[in-house]
Amino acid sequence: MRIPFSKMQGAGNDFVVLDETRTRYHLRPEHYRFLGDRRYGVGADQILTVRPATQPGVDFAYVIHNADGGEVEQCGNGARCFVRFVQEQGMTDKARIRVQVQHGIIELEALPDGLVTVDMGAPRLDPAALPFVADGLTQRLQGEAELWRLDLSAAGIGAPVEVALVSMGNPHAVLLVDDVMTAPVQAVGPAVQALPAFPNSVNVGFLQVLDRGHVRLRVYERGAGETLACGTGACAAVVAGIRLGLLDSPVQVDALGGTLRIAWQGGDAPVLMSGPATTVYHGEIDLPDHPWLPDVSKVPA
């Protein structure tokens, strides 16, 4: 099956974008893994699929798959690329559009300066919303936020970590660190994800506060590993930082791949994310009926 695609990126978070508004490709998880693979396929952190809306008053729907083939609930950087894609493909002439994602509706606006603002909706602050299983775990209060103590000794990490929990339609655990560049992201990220406390896994953010309006952030994502930027991770980190009493809205978030601007006024107010979205190239790919990828876990060290 030969299918067209667009390669896009937002702050270094890269995507394969597919148009299924006229034809459904009926792809399986192994197809998404093939598309996301950087050696055998196109290569991307996530694959975004544009589909027709199924609700009145909504412009489009879109589905998000991680590079491991699993479907996920939300992707902030992908949402910005989504806007650019439907505009550039002539699918809409609106600057502001409403889009269905897995757990609701988000509003997106393309700005005259080339940036895109996404209304990500209000954060969910109940740990059960992630979901999070708190059995046997302890917490302490800092500001308005709970910090949960996680034991990572099963992964060979001696010191426990404390995380603030935020759902932006997808789950996030945010750790405060002194320096994101020396933080043990590759060890602590998967160790936190593997804990029984996170039955659906979790995105793990490593947050360094520079001042009350400026932070640095690295995120170890579910199904993708560390990415150059994570839009929902930036939103979750700023929400956590504000609730911990460390930040004031708006906040500049410096990710490895670029800069995002996050605004949140607290409570049930929506989180607003602004940042870049760029088309890299368009192409076509022959997608095998039964794509095969090597199991790199079996490669000797």
The answer to whether residue 75 is catalytic is: yes
Q: How far is it, in rounded angstroms, from Cα 301 to Cα 281?
A: 35
DSSP 8-state assignment for residue 270 = P
CB 272 within 8 A of CB 117: yes
Q: What beta strand segments (E) does the chain contain?
A: 2-10, 13-19, 46-52, 60-66, 71-72, 96-101, 104-110, 116-119, 139-142, 145-150, 161-167, 171-176, 203-211, 214-221, 225-227, 251-255, 258-263, 272-275, 278-286
Cis check: omega of the bond before 131, within 30 degrees of 0 = yes
DSSP 8-class letter at 199? T
Spatial distance between the Cα atoms of 165 and 175, rounded to a whole number of angstroms? 9
Q: Could you tell me the CA-to-CA distances from 27 to 5, 39, 44 in Å, in that order?
A: 14, 19, 16
Out of 61, 161, 230, 236, pick the active-site residue: 230
230 in catalytic set:
yes
Annotated catalytic residue, options 72, 75, 86, 246: 75
Residues involved in catalysis: 75, 230
